[in-house]
Structure 1
Amino acid sequence: MMITRRRLTRGMIAAAPAIAGMSRARATPSFPTRQVRIIAPFAPGAATDTCARIIAQRLGERWGQPVVVENRIGASGTIGASAVARAEPDGHTLLLGTVGTNATNASLIPNMPYDTLNDFAPVTLFAVVSMLVVVHPSQPIHSIADLVALARKAPGGLNCGTAGVGSSPHLAALLFESLGKVKFEHVAYAGVAPMIPDLLQNRVNVSLGDASSFLPHVRSGALRAIGVTTATRFAGLPDVPTVAEAGVASYDAAAWYGVLAPAKTPPQIVTQLNHEIAAIARMPAVKQQLEPLAATTVGNTPDAFAAFIHAEYKRWGQLIRDAGVQVTQKS
């Protein structure tokens, strides 16, 4: 078919608006257009801060744009999380969220300053941290079965130390009591560090906490690890069974860290962030960086992370209400 010059000219004129539109689309600045902030709602040096800085460094390298970590601490992480919930939903302010800020605090703290399930756009679950059940080696407790038997024999006779009321280890202990049908005397500390000396001196009979805190003492023989709280075994102690496989059916508890944006962040930006951060989570070098935290990287989809948050919110909320646990919000 022959195309005349007149017909070709008419076609070019008709196509001009579409071509102009494509040019404008290409000219639109891509994300990010300025410095990106990742809010870490806990102190420098904490696991949350470590994860945030790893992500910030790698994103900065990939984008050629500055990515900074800002520590907004206080009120069990709610100050930092609230700042992100109120931020402009353009992807330039992100939260390194935790099981506390984005699942359990809603049931623990009265008058929360944000809506846990509706004020954020989940991006990806970055990492999950195993916890260990440990005892002093002088205790006649060599397994989860031994612990359950002894605790049932004398309800409240064993004390259990944790990093504080409402902390992940405390809730993990409550879950153990509920599923194992046992009762401990809870001893709440202001973090793991002040608890370790009492645990090493056998003033604390049993404890649950992040594997990274206990690992040096387990490897030295000063503590005995009898169970891993997650659904799968911890690679650093492959011979230690999970609590579930050791007899407490359905038991699964972990600390976790994920990236969230403010609600109403454009889906295309959430998708871009997800692709970038999930790729970072898969990097062998990043996995190695997180080994000291006993962390396993994940990097799932926004929908999968949202479903995970809803499940965590529901199950921990029910446990907290059943146990009547509440913490006083402090700044």
Structure 2
Amino acid sequence: MQGLVHGMAASAAVLAGSRSAFARPDYPTKQVKVIAPFAPGAATDTCARIVAQRLGERWGKPVIVENKVGASGAIGAAAVAQATPDGHTLLLGTIGTSATNAHLMPNMPYDTLNDFTPISLFATVAMLVVVHPSQPIHSIAELVAYAEKNPGKLNCGTAGIGSSPHLAALLFESLAKVRFEHVAYAGVAPMIPDLLQNRVNVSLGDASSFLPHVRSGALRAIGVTTATRFEGLPEVPTVAEAGVKGYEASAWYGVLGPARMPADIVSKLSGDIGAIARLPEVKQQLAPLAAVTVGSTSAEFAGFIRTEYDRWGKLIRDSGVQVKPS
């Protein structure tokens, strides 16, 4: 997946200028709204506000963020799916709203693949595999060996059933052929104290959540879930290079609109978001999230969503995971 992401960024840089040049000159004709389907302060909200602010600056016209929360992001996403497809209502989508929730939740209020126009993949976020330093585990190979000898003995904490870290843990189990005892929390914050006290032995989660504790020595990072190493911890190998072949997982954020948006408006938005993603100051704004900006084309993002939808869907079906909307 990471190779695809790098390819997206390269082609987006080449095409950005030409795409915007063909867009109708009168767009936007009114206030544009970016719906963030999670609460203020969450990573999704942060990305939505960066995109909205920068688009407003480029256009000289107002772009606002509206938080529509609930049902694991489905309420906000459904509002965009039902909106007029004129480019004035956009979604800051996530791997959940745009790929995995359809496989996890019954009675989804929208069709994930057919009710939206993918516009641009904005950013991806690396996750870390961490253990308590009292554990006799200093590498992915040692984690696999310990889990093989002690099936189900290691507690693995994640930020909720069906969350990106939980699915990343399931993928690890599937590819490494090991088994953890899963402990699901209502988010990362309530899990951290148990992890620091070794009541939870191992965890996978967004790098930004674990980084302060890794740097203080309270946790030990033994792997990065993406295909390339994380700049914040360059000495920590990826899970794949450490021996779990084919392993790759990340959280991600992208901009979508309702289905059947005019192609020229999609091109303008995609080009402008790509240009925003390449701004050094935007990269700096996203650094606290351990996020890497992409800025893909619409076609690239559509292909990316399809790949994510299919591969996580198979894992979810094979594992039998289901969640209730919250």
TM-score by length of 1: 0.91
Please tell me the root mean square deviation across aligned C-alpha atoms, in Å: 0.7
Answer yes or no: is 1:161 the counterpart of 2:170: no
Partner of 1:70: 66
**1: CA distance, partners of 2:130 / 2:268:** 41
1:9 paired residue number: none
Give the structure 1 partner of residue 269 of structure 2.
273
Find 1:307's aligned residue among 300, 303, 309: 303
CA displacement, residues 1-49 of structure 1 (integer Å, 9 cap, x when unaligned): xxxxxxxxxxxxxxxxxxxxxxxxxxx8610000000000000000000
- SS of 2:66's equivalent in the other structure is strand
1:48 aligns with 2:47: no
Does the residue aligned with 2:98 lie in a helix, a strand or coil? helix
* CA-CA distance at 1:92 after TM superposition: 0.2
Give the aligned partner of residue 290 of structure 1. 286
How many Å separate the matches in 2 of 1:126 and 1:239?
26
| In structure 1, C-alpha distance between the alignment counterparts of 2:41 and 2:321, rounded to whole Å | 28
Give per-residue Cα distances to partners, 1:264-290, cap 9 Å, x unaligned: 010100000001000000000000000
Distance (Å, rounded) in 1 between the aligned partners of 2:81 and 2:151: 43
1:209 is displaced (CA, Å) by: 0.2
Is 1:33 aligned to residue 33 of structure 2? no
The aligned amino acid for 1:123 is: I
Amino acid at match of 1:202: N
1:202 corresponds in structure 2 to 198
Structure 1, unpaired ranges of 5+: 1-27
2-side partners of 1:308 and 1:57: how far apart? 25
Q: CA deviation at 1:329?
A: 1.7
* Partner secondary structure for residue 130 of structure 2: strand
Question: Which residue does the alignment assign to 1:20?
Answer: none
Alignment partner of 1:140 is 2:136:
yes
* Equivalent position of 2:82 in the other structure: 86
Q: Quote the Cα distance in structure 2 between the aligned partners of 1:43 and 1:318.
A: 29
Aligned AA for 2:68? R
Q: Does 1:180 align with 2:193?
A: no
Q: Partner letter of residue 188 of structure 1?
A: A
2:117: which partner in 1?
121
Hey, what does 1:21 align to over in structure 2? none
Q: Secondary structure at the match of 1:156?
A: coil
| CA distance in 2 between partners of 1:154 and 1:126 (Å) | 40
Q: Matched residue of 1:178: which SS?
A: helix
Q: Could you tell me how far 1:229 is from its partner in structure 2?
A: 0.3
Alignment equivalent of 2:213, drawn from 217, 221, 240: 217
Letter of the 1:136 counterpart: H
> Is residue 146 of structure 2 the alignment partner of residue 150 of structure 1?
yes
Give 1:154 shift. 1.1
Counterpart-to-counterpart distance in 2, 1:158 and 1:200: 15
Distance in 2 between residues matched to 1:194 and 1:29, nearest whole Å: 49
> Could you tell me how far apart the structure 2 residues matched to 1:30 and 1:275 are?
16
Matched, 1:111 2:107: yes
Measure the CA separation in 1 of the matches of 2:218 and 2:281: 31
Specify the SS of the correspondent of 1:245: coil
For residue 305 of structure 1, give the secondary structure of its aligned residue in structure 2.
helix
Gap runs ≥5 in structure 2:
1-23
Normalised by the length of structure 2, the TM-score is 0.92
Distance in 1 of aligned mates of 2:66 and 2:53: 13
Letter in 2 for 1:60: G
The one-letter code matched in structure 2 to 1:222 is A
What secondary structure does 1:315 align onto?
helix
1:219-238, CA deviations, whole angstroms, 9 ceiling, x for partnerless residues?
00000000000011000000
Cα distance in structure 2, aligned partners of 1:276 and 1:302: 12
